[in-house]
Amino acid sequence: MTITGRPETRGGQEHLVLTRTFSAPVEDVWAAVTKSERLGRWFGTWSGDPADGEVRVRWDFEDEVADEVYVIDACEAPHHLRAHNRGDDPAQVWTLDLRLREEGGRTVLDLAQVMNADLPVTDVGPGWEYYLDRLEDSVRTGEVSTVGWDGYLELGPEYAAAFGAGGRPGSAAG
């Protein structure tokens, strides 16, 4: 297993960007990342009315993670979704930007997360590898993903090298 994430500066902010390609139409992948039941097959479910500009997300595959409110910053079906969790600690705000496009009969998904010095990419990177592998599995099978966590945390050192010796954005390579 090797990392697929990379650092990228967008709008003056450092992002962790991961790309996945699916043998499925863009509308199918869009549904897998936006419809609560489909999202629940690989990540978690949401409740509420997206038309209100926010939903409550329940992380179904994490231990001891409370439900979180996510504010929908942009939703342009079936190509762009940007959202962030609402929290009291700005260092723990996760801003996620998903962009989908069709290329040669396949769908390409770029997931970008704004990174800051308080978010260790050595944890965040392996976590997104796990979840995106679960997404791929779910889209391919049409079922709840059976991909397990084992082995993903071992990607931490590779992420530390890609983002700098400390594994945090802005840290100097050593």
| Res 171: pLDDT | 43
Return the pLDDT at 173.
35
The pairs formed by 158-162 with CB atoms below 8 angstroms and a separation of 24 or more are 158/2, 158/3, 159/3, 159/5, 159/121, 159/122, 159/125, 159/126, 160/121, 160/122, 162/3, 162/5, 162/6, 162/7, 162/121, 162/125
The pLDDT value recorded for residue 174 is: 29
Return the SS3 of 118. coil
**Predicted confidence pLDDT, tens digits, the chain (174 residues):** 899 999 999 999 999 999 999 999 999 999 999 999 999 999 999 999 999 999 999 988 887 777 899 999 999 999 999 999 998 787 788 999 999 999 999 999 999 999 988 889 999 999 999 999 999 999 999 999 999 999 999 999 999 999 985 555 544 332
- Prediction pTM value: 0.91
Please report the pLDDT score of residue 59 as a whole number. 87
| Tokens at 17, concatenated | 């960007």
Q: What is the pLDDT of residue 111?
A: 98
Q: Which long-range contacts (CB under 8 A, 24 or more apart) does 140-144 make?
A: 140/22, 140/23, 140/24, 143/41, 144/40, 144/41, 144/42
Please give the domain boundaries of the chain with CATH numbers for all domains. 6-163 (3.30.530.20)
